[in-house]
């Protein structure tokens, strides 16, 4: 039974949160943002990442949201900011866990035939929200990122300790 229609970009809609296209997106697009959107305190600038992704990422979920009239600023204000700004690390992690669970529930939905555009927009919104929130959380709180790239300047310190040798 076909669940999602084929698209002109040869990718079928997926009910999975992470598929091959998403892995490429994380490896080739998000990975390059590790330093670009980090503040001096180590906090990750989620708004900047969101705007950048909406401006340049050609993944199906982003394309679908843009076709529905959603832009990066609007997506950040409506979907990301309430789940990021002013929250503690634990609160952010809890929100991400809830969205992952929602994604799993959407993946189990059987709307019958071709799903409505509203359903596809919800799926795309949840997928993008989970990816960006989880990425920002990992880049803000990951110990390795904090050691090598945060305010500790671990690389510089180790370089000095090694007498200028790598």
Instruction: For 36-49, write each residue's pLDDT tens digit.
Output: 776 666 677 899 98
C-alpha–C-alpha distance, residues 86 and 89, integer Å: 10
Contact 13, 3 (CB under 8 A): yes
Crossing angle for the helix pair 46-56 and 117-141, nearest 10 degrees? Answer: 130
pTM recorded for the entire structure: 0.71
Q: Is the pLDDT of residue 147 over 80?
A: no
pLDDT tens for residues 72-96? 999 999 999 999 999 999 999 999 9
Top mean-pLDDT range of 24-33, 74-83, 99-108: 74-83
Contact 13, 7 (CB under 8 A): yes
- Report residue 47 as tokens: 């708004």
pLDDT of residue 3: 36
Task: In the chain, count H helices and then E strands.
Answer: 8, 0
């Amino acid at each position: 039974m076909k669940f999602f229609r084929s698209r002109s970009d040869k990718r079928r809609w997926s009910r999975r949160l992470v598929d091959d296209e998403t892995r490429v997106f994380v490896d080739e697009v998000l990975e390059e943002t590790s330093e670009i959107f980090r503040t001096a305190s180590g906090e990750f600038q989620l708004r900047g990442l969101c705007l950048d992704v909406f401006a340049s990422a050609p993944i199906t979920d982003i394309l679908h949201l843009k076709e529905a009239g959603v832009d990066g600023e609007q997506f950040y204000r409506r979907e990301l900011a309430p789940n990021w700004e002013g929250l503690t690390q634990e609160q952010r992690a809890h929100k991400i866990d809830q969205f992952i669970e929602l994604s799993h529930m959407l993946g189990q939905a059987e709307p019958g035939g071709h799903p409505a555009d509203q359903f596809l927009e919800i799926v795309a919104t949840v997928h993008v929200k989970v990816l960006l929130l989880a990425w920002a959380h990992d880049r803000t709180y990951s110990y390795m990122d904090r050691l090598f790239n945060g305010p500790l300047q671990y690389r510089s310190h180790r370089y000095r300790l090694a007498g200028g040798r790598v």
